Amino acid sequence: MVYSLDEPLLRSLFGPVARATEVLARLDERLARSPVRDGFVERQHFADAAAALWLEGELVHIEDLVLHDSHMDIRAPTHELTRAHAVLRTRRRICAERPDWALSRDGLLALTGRGGAIPAAAGPKDPHREGAGAGTVEADAPDDTQDDLLAEEFAEIDAVLARSSKLLSGADVPARTPRADDRPDLIYDLDWNEEERMAEWRDVIAGTRDLPVVLRGAILLEAWQDIEVLQHATWLGPLLVAALLRQEGLAANHLACLNLGAKNIPRERRRARNRSDRLLACLDAINDAAIAGLKEHDRLVMAKSQMERRLKQRRASSKLPALVELVLSRPLVSTGMIQERLKVTKQGALNLVGELGLREMTGRGRFRAWGII
The structural domains of the chain, ordered by start, are 7-113+174-299 (1.10.3290), 313-371 (1.10.10)
For residue 47, the SS3 value is helix
Give the mean pLDDT of 7-29. Answer: 87
Give the mean pLDDT of 263-269. Answer: 92
Is pLDDT above 50 for 137? no
Give the mean pLDDT of 47-58. Answer: 94
CA distance 354 to 27: 33
Predicted pLDDT at 140: 42
- The distance in angstroms from the start CA to the end CA of the chain is 51
Q: How confident is the model at residue 180 (pLDDT cuts 50, 70, 90)?
A: very low
Predicted pLDDT at 30: 94
Task: Choose the weakest-confidence range: 241-250, 280-289, 354-363.
Answer: 354-363
CA distance 24 to 18: 10
Radius of gyration for the alpha carbons in the chain, expressed in angstroms and rounded: 25
More confident of the two residues 238 and 232: 238
Residues 6+ apart with CB under 8 A from 111: 90, 93, 94, 102, 174, 236, 239, 240
Is pLDDT above 70 for 114? no
pLDDT, mean over the chain: 82
Is pLDDT above 80 for 204? yes
Predicted pLDDT at 155: 74
Give the mean pLDDT of 31-38. Answer: 93
Give the mean pLDDT of 104-123. Answer: 64
Predicted pLDDT at 246: 95
Q: How confident is the model at residue 174 (pLDDT cuts 50, 70, 90)?
A: low
Predicted pLDDT at 368: 80
Residues 6+ apart with CB under 8 A from 152: 119, 120
Predicted pLDDT at 146: 53
Predicted pLDDT at 136: 35
Q: How confident is the model at residue 219 (pLDDT cuts 50, 70, 90)?
A: very high
CB atoms within 10 A of CB 356: 18
pLDDT in tens, 331-355: 888 888 898 889 999 899 888 888 8
Q: How confident is the model at residue 128 (pLDDT cuts 50, 70, 90)?
A: very low
User: Is-contact 247 98, C-beta < 8 A?
Assistant: no
